[in-house]
């Protein structure tokens, strides 16, 4: 496969086609669970570390998205807790299970809320720990991961578990082991695809959840752009219904 922009677009199209057909069932099951939770007043909490945090941002607090969504991030332990900033200076901090526990202790999670966790590898300590904590607390856990990658690695969590082995629903983003997909002469690869695949899956989930709410006679709580007339007033009114349960900040 040539290392060209055209090859990138070709692989993106092929991956999205595989996701659309191969992941329709888990996407539908995840949408059922999220819609049921939101209809009952619940909130969707989304967690990801590293580049998987982009999935949490894709689902939380953006125009056209679901308002009752809350992003959980490792930095919460610093900005909202008492963890020193130096604790996150190491780019490998995501491997520490204890960080997930600190984030969870600060999270505004209530019974009935759904937890969605994104991780390309599904094997880092904080990712697996978050899934275990959420399951132990009685929450439904949805995983967005690469099964090819995850099945090829050894978990870094003391339990030896990987994310897909703990989740109630697993959505496979179709990314390869190592994420990058265009081969290089030295045996490596370039151009990662997981973020693009995750973003597409996120928007598919938003659409499916919205459809289910409408079919159930529930007004879907959808953000309008803050950069269009009336957007702030619309969003502020909806956010007030979830005061203390969803965090919206610049970080």
pLDDT of residue 181: 97
Residue 142 — φ and ψ, nearest 5°?
-110, 130
What's the rounded Cα separation, in Å, for the pair 247 and 69? 9
Burial (CB count within 10 angstroms: exposed 0-12, middle 13-18, buried 19+), residue 33:
buried
pLDDT of residue 110: 98
Percentage of the chain surpassing pLDDT 70? Answer: 100
SS3 assignment, position 69? strand
pLDDT of residue 115: 98
pLDDT of residue 193: 97
What's the rounded Cα separation, in Å, for the pair 192 and 181? 6
Q: pLDDT tens for residues 182-240?
A: 999 999 999 999 999 999 999 999 999 999 999 999 999 999 999 999 999 999 999 99
CA distances from 55 to 97, 184, 251 (A): 20, 28, 15
pLDDT of residue 249: 81
180 DSSP β-pair partners: 192
What's the rounded Cα separation, in Å, for the pair 181 and 129? 29
Q: Which two tokens stand for residue 137?
A: 């607390």
pLDDT for residue 89 is more than 90: no
SS3 assignment, position 63? coil
**Which pTM does this prediction carry?**
0.95
Q: pLDDT tens for residues 20-73?
A: 999 999 999 999 999 999 999 999 999 999 999 999 999 999 999 999 999 999
Q: pLDDT tens for residues 22-37?
A: 999 999 999 999 999 9
pLDDT of residue 148: 98
């Amino acid at each position: 496969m040539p290392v060209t922009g055209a090859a990138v677009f070709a692989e993106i199209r092929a991956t999205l086609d595989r996701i659309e057909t191969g992941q329709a069932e888990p996407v539908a099951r995840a949408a059922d669970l999220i819609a049921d939770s939101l209809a009952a007043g619940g909130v969707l909490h989304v967690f990801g570390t590293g580049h998987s945090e982009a999935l949490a941002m894709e689902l939380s607090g953006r125009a056209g998205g679901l308002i009752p969504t809350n992003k959980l991030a490792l930095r919460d332990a610093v900005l909202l807790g008492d963890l020193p900033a130096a604790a996150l200076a190491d780019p490998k901090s995501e491997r520490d299970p204890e960080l997930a526990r600190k984030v969870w202790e600060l999270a505004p999670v209530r019974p009935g809320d759904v937890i969605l966790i994104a991780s390309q590898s599904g094997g880092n300590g904080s990712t697996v720990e978050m899934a275990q904590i959420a399951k132990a607390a009685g929450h439904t856990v949805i995983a967005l991961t690469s099964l090819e990658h995850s099945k090829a690695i050894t978990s870094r969590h003391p339990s030896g578990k990987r994310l897909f082995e703990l989740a109630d629903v697993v959505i496979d983003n179709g990314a390869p082991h190592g994420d990058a997909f265009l081969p290089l002469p030295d045996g490596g690869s370039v151009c990662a695809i997981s973020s693009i695949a995750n973003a597409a899956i996120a928007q598919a989930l938003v659409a499916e959840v919205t459809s289910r709410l409408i079919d159930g006679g529930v007004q879907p709580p959808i953000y309008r752009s803050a950069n269009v007339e009336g957007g702030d007033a619309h969003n502020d009114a909806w956010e007030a219904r979830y005061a203390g349960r969803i965090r919206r900040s610049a970080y």
